[in-house]
Structure 1
């Protein structure tokens, strides 16, 4: 069995290209079905698959008898509507121990824009549950990911990899503080109600802004989040008309198209008499049209723009990284040992089936002898002799076959198998 992975992330691909390959959680199941169906016409009918898609990465993990990287690559390029050459110039491909090591590093927060951040672990678990629900997760990928989670837990327990880390939300607060002298005088709008917005709202609420509002497609979910911070909820449809009220806008939705356009921002600036607006677009694909960044009095940051801020303090965690890599190395070796053993499973099954067949035959023979009135001692002797002969027949035949060199090799193998001394 082989494992392979391919993907693109914040270090290899620009934001807009990553956006073409972003899959919302409810898109994972049909996307996995499409991927696995694409293998049906070739020699890889039983392919396990999982997709991890976040604002910083999209990665496909697969397992099958034979590696099919080129096929997976072609499928991904087609699904994103880009030329394979363009995708290849921004993607990475991994297999077997390299794929395992990458999965373990991602789960442990070593491959994140925010070194040591814990959010990716929850996102990976969501992706695994989605793959399992879709029926795309087999024993090999299940082992890979369960071991990834175990390694990540050990890394976070045994090292200080998460110490001093600056989250994307904390970075946004820091940048907003550089623009506005007193955040307590600002009005903050959060667009969306997912995990990232929840985290960002928690950080901004700690600064006690003048007002907080949540704009969400589903008003009920927005109200639930807003109530935690003493804010108000509004419908997403009301956003353009009310945009001018807010000094800070943080957006992160699962929309496939921008929901805050250039025209809406221009009108908001006019109504604000060009008082500055601080905007953060944490979504992939973008929630805010990129042309907005060119407007005067607009300070727009994307997830990639925050990279320099979140990297601060990384030097303090290099010792923890070295410790984490040791834990990951051990995890990779353990997984590869398990994967190697998987190749012997069919042989073990055949040996067990053969042994059961011999046992059943000798049991049937013993019952017949008992029925004829033979003594138990005679029957047990005959049964043990019959089993021994069946077990030794193949080995003895091999020992007497072939040339001298092959007989010597067979003799050494049989000695290891049958002449081991109990310790």
Structure 2
């Protein structure tokens, strides 16, 4: 059995394909059991996020998993195979370490992926599809990710739009904790922004979205409130920070709306972050004295500056990962040798028991103890040396030289020419 990682991600597949092979959380246990129903896949864990779907498994060969992945999602293999990658053993281990460390993420060094990898391990553990090999691999993966983040600067700088939004807000307000935040929209980007702002502990957070169910689900995650999208104009003066990202083809927040809000706020500053393309907030809003409007391009400049400083950290992280891959492979090799070691010890113990029983019988019938001990030692030596000696005698030609070197290494012999 070999370790494999098989899947696709944002580097190899467009969103339309990633959506079709994503696993719904409520069906994940069923999928895990279905894949391990084949005797050729003994252990498996599934990582499924908006940016990647990956299977980590132990099997004889990876093709079975690829066939299963396509079939499970009611696709032909030809529809997904151009986007799939398959990593055996060393490459699979290295890939897992890089993923958990944030080196393979859309946003370099982002921390959310480690939690998602831990959740994948937890689900596999609960489903009973995590054996000794995968369990050890995941534990090593978590340790490597922790080492990378604690000893390099991979997570030290702002490299996501969501983090940049908080950073720019902190330029205007000394404490985000004293502010009221409004999120317009409930998609993935707003979700990331909500997570980052929630970490700063604002006084309140409110989600406004066209679909109330999505707004309710997002608000529940972060202890926020919700409101109807068409009431924004009436309550806008309450908010110090507005973050918007919708798919609306026209602006949602207009100049007149913001002018009235600024007047009602008695010219207290407002931070407005527009992450939408096309824009949710009319560009003219940025011309108001008391409004600090930031667009996607403004945030991108902050992100680019952070990315430059992370490149050196990537080199350091790759070095750590390479070392830890070697360490895990060494553990695997040692584990593979365990049955042979056990058999060797059992053989030696059998020889010892047989010789002791013979010696005890000789002593019981009155034989000379010194001669019995001498016979015992000779018997042990002859039986334990029989295998290596026979192996050397049966070797011929080039194999004889190889056999000789192997025996010398096994018994730590010094060759005298």
Q: What is the root-mean-square deviation of aligned Cα atoms in Å?
A: 4.4
Q: Which residue does 2:292 correspond to in 1?
A: none
Name the CA shift for 1:380/1:157 in 2 (closer, same or farther; >3 Å): farther
CA–CA separation in structure 2 for the residues paired with 1:33 and 1:307: 43
- 1:142-157, aligned counterparts within 5 Å? 142-157=135-150
Q: Which residue does 1:163 correspond to in 2?
A: 156
Deviation of the 1:104 alpha carbon: 1.0
Preserved contact between residue 173 and residue 203 of structure 1 (Cα < 8 Å): no
Deviation of the 1:29 alpha carbon: 2.2
- 2:20 paired with 1:20: yes
Name the CA shift for 1:203/1:335 in 2 (closer, same or farther; >3 Å): closer
- 2:75 paired with 1:82: yes
Q: Which residue does 2:381 correspond to in 1?
A: 388
The structure 2 residue matched to 1:52, chosen from 47, 54, 68, is 47
1:123-158 per-position Cα deviation (integer Å, ceiling 9, x unaligned): 212211221222212222223222222222221122
Deviation of the 1:87 alpha carbon: 1.3
1:28-71 per-position Cα deviation (integer Å, ceiling 9, x unaligned): 3221111111x24xxx1x5211111222211111113x222x22
Q: Secondary structure at the match of 1:55?
A: coil
Q: Which residue does 2:99 correspond to in 1?
A: 106
Could you tell me which runs of 5 or more consecutive residues in structure 2 were left unpaired when the two chains were aligned.
171-175, 237-241, 259-271, 284-298
Q: Secondary structure at the match of 1:163?
A: coil
Deviation of the 1:164 alpha carbon: 0.9
The structure 2 residue matched to 1:202, chosen from 195, 198, 206, is 198
Could you tell me which runs of 5 or more consecutive residues in structure 1 were left unpaired when the two chains were aligned.
178-182, 252-259, 282-292, 300-305
Preserved contact between residue 115 and residue 311 of structure 1 (Cα < 8 Å): no
**More displaced stretch, 403-412 vs 104-113:** 403-412
Q: Which residue does 1:245 correspond to in 2?
A: 231
CA–CA separation in structure 2 for the residues paired with 1:356 and 1:307: 69
Q: Secondary structure at the match of 1:62?
A: strand
Q: Secondary structure at the match of 1:47?
A: strand
Q: Which residue does 1:119 correspond to in 2?
A: 112
The structure 2 residue matched to 1:212, chosen from 206, 220, 236, is 206
Name the CA shift for 1:204/1:335 in 2 (closer, same or farther; >3 Å): closer
Q: Which residue does 2:34 correspond to in 1?
A: 34
CA–CA separation in structure 1 for the residues paired with 2:135 and 2:368: 53
CA–CA separation in structure 1 for the residues paired with 2:68 and 2:375: 62
- 2:342 paired with 1:349: yes
Q: Which residue does 1:368 correspond to in 2?
A: 361
Name the CA shift for 1:204/1:409 in 2 (closer, same or farther; >3 Å): closer
1:371-420 per-position Cα deviation (integer Å, ceiling 9, x unaligned): 43456544443333222221111222223224354444333322222353
The structure 2 residue matched to 1:409, chosen from 381, 402, 407, is 402
CA–CA separation in structure 2 for the residues paired with 1:98 and 1:222: 40
Preserved contact between residue 190 and residue 197 of structure 1 (Cα < 8 Å): no
**More displaced stretch, 359-368 vs 369-378:** 369-378
Preserved contact between residue 96 and residue 141 of structure 2 (Cα < 8 Å): yes
Name the CA shift for 1:118/1:381 in 2 (closer, same or farther; >3 Å): farther
CA–CA separation in structure 2 for the residues paired with 1:296 and 1:191: 14
Q: Which has the higher contact order (CA 8 A, sep 6+)?
A: 1
Preserved contact between residue 2 and residue 63 of structure 1 (Cα < 8 Å): yes
CA–CA separation in structure 1 for the residues paired with 2:356 and 2:398: 39
Q: Which residue does 1:289 correspond to in 2?
A: none
The TM-score, its normalising length taken from structure 1, stands at 0.70
- 1:252-291, aligned counterparts within 5 Å? none
Preserved contact between residue 191 and residue 216 of structure 1 (Cα < 8 Å): no
Aligned length: 367
Larger radius of gyration: 2
The TM-score, its normalising length taken from structure 2, stands at 0.71
Name the CA shift for 1:224/1:402 in 2 (closer, same or farther; >3 Å): closer
Deviation of the 1:108 alpha carbon: 1.1
Name the CA shift for 1:220/1:415 in 2 (closer, same or farther; >3 Å): closer
CA–CA separation in structure 2 for the residues paired with 1:55 and 1:224: 18
Name the CA shift for 1:220/1:368 in 2 (closer, same or farther; >3 Å): farther
Preserved contact between residue 191 and residue 197 of structure 1 (Cα < 8 Å): no
Q: Which residue does 1:6 correspond to in 2?
A: 6
Name the CA shift for 1:297/1:275 in 2 (closer, same or farther; >3 Å): farther
CA–CA separation in structure 2 for the residues paired with 1:333 and 1:21: 32
**More displaced stretch, 410-419 vs 384-393:** 410-419
